[in-house]
Chains A and B, each alone.
Chain A
Amino acid sequence: MSGHFSGLRLAYESLRGHTGWGRQWGSSELGDEYDVVIVGGGGHGLATAYYLASECDVGRIAVLEKGWLGGGNTARNTTIVRSNYLWDKSLALYDHAVKMWEGLSRELNYNVMFSQRGVLHVAHDEGDIRLSRRRCNSIRAAGVDSEWLSPEEVKELVPIINLHGRFPIMGGVFQPRGGVARHDAVAWGYARAASGLGVDIIENCEVTGFDVKRGKVVGLETSRGKVKAKKVGLVVAGHSSRLAELAGFRLPLMMNTLQALVSEPVKPMLSTVVMSNGVHGYMSQSDKGELVIGGGTDLPVSYSRRGGEGWFSSTTASIVELFPCIRRMRVLRMWGGTVDVTKDRSPILGKTPVENLYVNCGWGTGGFKATPGSGHLFAHSISRGEMVEKAAPFGMERFREGCLVDEGAASGVAH
């Protein structure tokens, strides 16, 4: 198929008119039986399949995707990567992912364009400063990079920021190892690498039912026929409630629309990611030059992937307060995705009431950053039949037991 990417190969292909690149992953027919079936071909599902194939000895693996690979939230997110969460359990989970991001392009032999340009959260008032510094200190104490910046240091890092707007900037928490990555490349890189290891990737294949015998999943019904499966991993983000219902249980999730927009492309003007939980908005600049802008979620339960107009006015108003120089720029594109939000704003990784059916969801507004770590931990958990250490605190039973990992209060903005 596509072969190894290298400088030498590039030179060779350029001499023969780039005719030899070939398809990046195979298209398979749905087989009769698999040891593990992953439902959902977003970043998390594909990463799970890749680590199952590369690190766990589980036999035949398939990924079933109802549309095209990475066409869900993986394609719709603003690609912020960071691990500066408040609680130790979250820090361990997200920093596992950041460490994996750091070697991902090499691991996959695919450029995921991970750019550690840093992520800055600005603080606007005394209360904000106290909370931010507390968060900054607890992150450092856990051994993750985090720095407190004075307003002058913020200005130096982000010359276009307005320190003296309606909500003045009184400092900020900076994570230098944070940054952005190329969303499509993550899906494609994992798909290519998984396919290279023999994983069947089947697009346009919607899972429509579960074959459950004596409380155990034994197979799936799909738009392409039935398939037997010894273990199943559900990684369908915005469709998790629907599929759980088909399997006969409920999940502690709310489905909301999260929107984002990009401006017309301009020359480089912003070299890091700036977020404000106080005014609910964030901005970075893509490699193409577009300003990538996001904010909070729309509240109603929705699968429309179209948000309300109110979001646009409030988000752009906040962003323009922070960056008055972009006031007259034009919006190029605006879109939405269906995000699966938990009440404590932490993901769900774990077992379900159906034996051999595992779930990985609830990443809501902020799961892109966790893609490699989530896939890695989920793969090992499925293969062992028990959640591995870093994933264990995130089972859905935490809601019944009252053992929440409450990041909601810690980071009130979409990211």
Chain B
Amino acid sequence: MLYIPCPWCGEREELEFHYHDEGHIVRPDVSVGDGEWSSYLYERENVEGWQRDLWSHDAGCRRYFYVLRHSVTDEIGGAYKVGEKLPPLPVEAEREMGS
């Protein structure tokens, strides 16, 4: 079970949340060609490592927000609100130093 830190409600169990997609996917203008449009609709980064997810807290505040999650180790590196300045991705070295 992942523990996800909702920026509004604090840390809760994964079951309360819904994963939507990779974060920060920007919808292009409708005037773009089929290539760019289909890439927006269908292609994903599928990062093997730290990535920014879009989640919503369905069984709580029902807000959307972003989560830093490691796609191989399942670690959670924090969460931030929509519109907030992007926090940097946690890097391996920081984790090893511990806190």
Contact = CB atoms under 8 A, between A and B. Distances in A.
Interface of A: 241-242, 250-255, 299-304, 306, 308-310, 342-343, 399-402
B14 interface: yes
A399 B14 contact: no
B99 interface: no
B18 to A, nearest CB: 8
7 contacts: A252-B38, A255-B46, A299-B19, A300-B53, A300-B69, A310-B1, A399-B42
B51 to A, nearest CB: 7
Q: Which of A252, A299, A301 has the most CB of B within 10 A?
A: A301
B94 interface: no
A334 to B, nearest CB: 14
Interface of B: 1-2, 14-15, 18-20, 22, 34-35, 38-39, 41-48, 51, 53, 69, 71-74
B42 A309 contact: no
B74 A306 contact: yes
B40 to A, nearest CB: 11
A310 B13 CA distance: 10
A400 B38 contact: yes
Contacts of A309: 1, 14-15
A241 B14 CA distance: 26
Contact of A253 (B20, B39, B46, B69): B46
Closest 8 A/B residue pairs (Cβ)? A252-B42, A241-B46, A299-B19, A400-B38, A309-B1, A250-B43, A255-B46, A300-B19
Nearest to A312: B1
A343 B39 CA distance: 12
B72 A343 contact: no
